[in-house]
Amino acid sequence: MVYNFFFPYHYPSGVSTLFKQLGQAIGDIENEHVKLIDFRDGPMAYGLEARSKVQFVEFKKDSAIVIGAGETLVIQGQIPGNLPRQLKIHDDARIVEWQLHPHNFVPPPFPLIGHKDWWLQNPVLYEMFMRGLYKTKMKHITEFVMLLSSRQSLFFYDHPALHATERYLGCTVPNPIFLPVPIELPVTSRHVAWNSEDLHVAWIGRLYDFKIHILVRTIERFIEYSVATGRTIVFHVVGDGPEARRLTRFGCETGGLKLIRYGDLPFSRMLDLLNERIHIVASMGTAALHGAASGLPVMLLDLSYTEVSKDYRYRWLHDTQGFDLGHTITNADCDSTRDSFVEMMTDLTSNYEQLARKSYLYVQQNHGVETVTNRFLELTRRTDLCFRDVPAIYWKKTTIRQIYEFIRY
Predicted local distance difference test score (pLDDT) of residue 249: 87
Is 362's pLDDT higher than 80? Answer: yes
CA angle 10, 11, 14 (to 5 degrees): 120
> Which whole number is the average pLDDT over 53-57?
90
Predicted local distance difference test score (pLDDT) of residue 70: 95
Tens-place pLDDT, residues 91-105: 999 999 999 988 888
337 vs 169, residue with greater confidence: 337
Tens-place pLDDT, residues 193-223: 787 779 999 999 999 988 999 999 999 999 9
Compute the mean pLDDT over every residue in the chain, rounded to the nearest whole number.
89
Q: What is the CA radius of gyration of the chain?
A: 22
Name the nearest CA neighbour of 29 among 381, 407, 303.
381
CA angle 304, 306, 312 (to 5 degrees): 60
Predicted local distance difference test score (pLDDT) of residue 113: 45
137 vs 173, residue with greater confidence: 173
Q: Judge contact between 283 and 298, C-beta under 8 A.
A: yes
Name the nearest CA neighbour of 237 among 224, 248, 229.
248
Predicted local distance difference test score (pLDDT) of residue 188: 66
Tens-place pLDDT, residues 1-48: 899 999 999 887 889 989 998 999 999 898 899 999 999 999 998 877
122 vs 364, residue with greater confidence: 364
> Which whole number is the average pLDDT over 371-390?
94
| C-alpha dihedral, 10 to 12 to 18 to 22, nearest 10° | 70
Predicted local distance difference test score (pLDDT) of residue 118: 64
> Which whole number is the average pLDDT over 325-347?
94
Given the DSSP bridges, would you call strands 298-300 and 315-316 parallel, antiparallel or unpaired? antiparallel
* Distance from C-alpha of 53 to C-alpha of 30, rounded to nearest angstrom: 9
Is 120's pLDDT higher than 90? Answer: no
> Which whole number is the average pLDDT over 230-247?
94
Q: Looking at 78-82, 173-177, 301-305, which range is the least confident one?
A: 78-82
How much of the chain exceeds pLDDT 90, in percent? 66
Is 112's pLDDT higher than 60? Answer: no
Q: Judge contact between 393 and 143, C-beta under 8 A.
A: no
Predicted local distance difference test score (pLDDT) of residue 129: 76
Tell me the residue length of the chain: 409
Predicted local distance difference test score (pLDDT) of residue 190: 66
Q: How does residue 71 score in pLDDT terms, banded at 50, 70 and 90?
A: very high
> Which whole number is the average pLDDT over 76-105?
90
CA angle 76, 81, 84 (to 5 degrees): 65
Predicted local distance difference test score (pLDDT) of residue 119: 67
Query: Across the strands, what pairs with 119?
Result: none
Is 172's pLDDT higher than 50? Answer: yes
- Residue 400's Cβ-count burial label (10 Å; 0-12, 13-18, 19+) is exposed
Query: Across the strands, what pairs with 34?
Result: 3, 54
Question: What would the 3-class secondary structure string for the chain be?
Answer: CEEEEECCCCCCCHHHHHHHHHHHHHHCCCCCEEEEEECCCCHHHCCCCCCCCEEEEECCCCCCEEECCCCEEEEECCCCCCCCCCEEECCCCEEEEEECCCCCCCCCCCCCCCCHHHHHCCHHHHHHHHHHHCHHHHHHHHHHHHHHHHCCCEEECCHHHHHHHHHHHCCCCCCCEECCCCECCCCCCCCCCCCCCCEEEEEECCCCHHHHHHHHHHHHHHHHHHHHHCCCEEEEEEECCCCHHHHHHHCCEECCEEEEEEECCCHHHHHHHHHHCCCEEEECHHHHHHHHHCCCCEEECCECCCCCCCCECCEEHHHCCCCCCCCECCHHHECCCCCHHHHHHHHHHHCHHHHHHHHHHHHHHHHEHHHHHHHHHHHHHHCCCEHHHCCHHHHCCCHHHHHHHHHHC
80 vs 163, residue with greater confidence: 163
Q: Judge contact between 93 and 71, C-beta under 8 A.
A: yes
Is 111's pLDDT higher than 60? Answer: no
Is 134's pLDDT higher than 90? Answer: no
Q: Domains of the chain (ranges plus CATH)?
A: 2-182+371-408 (3.40.50), 199-367 (3.40.50.2000)
CA angle 296, 299, 304 (to 5 degrees): 145
Query: Residue 376 CB: number of other CB atoms within 10 A?
Result: 21
Predicted local distance difference test score (pLDDT) of residue 340: 97
Is 121's pLDDT higher than 90? Answer: no
Predicted local distance difference test score (pLDDT) of residue 390: 93
Is 353's pLDDT higher than 50? Answer: yes
